[in-house]
Amino acid sequence: MNHLYSPIFKLSILLLILTFGFVGKANAEMTPEKLHQAIEGYSDKAQVQGNVIVFEYQQMTLYCVWDANADRMRILSPIANRSDVTDGMMEAAMQANYHSVLDARYAVGDGVLYSAFIHPLSSITKAELESAIRQVATAAATFGGSYSSGELVFPGNSQNKAKKGEDKSL
């Protein structure tokens, strides 16, 4: 009998995978300290102010806010006062939330329009965090233009009409 097919061998491999898989996940859990270290390694300037990391990326100021008790974090960049944003721009931003800003989103809070990314703190990986930073910065920079996070675009009927200069209504 080939030892690769023996039940004991299969069980041993399964136990090793489960053991090291869980140990790896426990060690990989994101914490506020690891969050700060990751952002410091990705940004020229990063300062912690309470539960907020203020940092610069591509000459834009971004904020990473976390709540370890709620297991949530968000990265955001202010774009404009809501009162300065036209209805057409808001509609384009909402369509972009569906098609072109992907994991980042345009959002309004306290009268300010932001580009934002929201995720559970403990399970975000360094690669996901870096992608979120790029997407939030790009979404803020392209507001009023291409409304894009720069990663991908999921084309839809409304975007095809917009490219042709037709009505953008859904």
Mean pLDDT computed over every residue of the chain: 83
Confidence tier at 165 by pLDDT (50, 70, 90): very low
DSSP letter for each residue of the chain: --GGG-HHHHHHHHHHHHHHHHHHHHHH---HHHHHHHHHHH-S-EEEETTEEEEEETTEEEEEEEETTTTEEEEEEEEEEGGGS-HHHHHHHHHHHHHTSTTSEEEEETTEEEEEEEEETTT--HHHHHHHHHHHHHHHHHTTTT---SS-----HHHHHHHTT-----
Query: What is the pLDDT, as a whole number, of residue 137?
Result: 96
- What is the predicted pLDDT for the residue at 9? 59
Can you tell me the mean pLDDT for 27-39?
A: 89
| pLDDT tens digits, 74-106 | 999 999 999 999 999 999 999 999 989 989 999
20: pLDDT strictly greater than 90: no
How confident is the model at residue 116, as a pLDDT? 98
Q: pLDDT band for 150, please (50, 70, 90 cuts).
A: confident
State the pLDDT at residue 154.
58
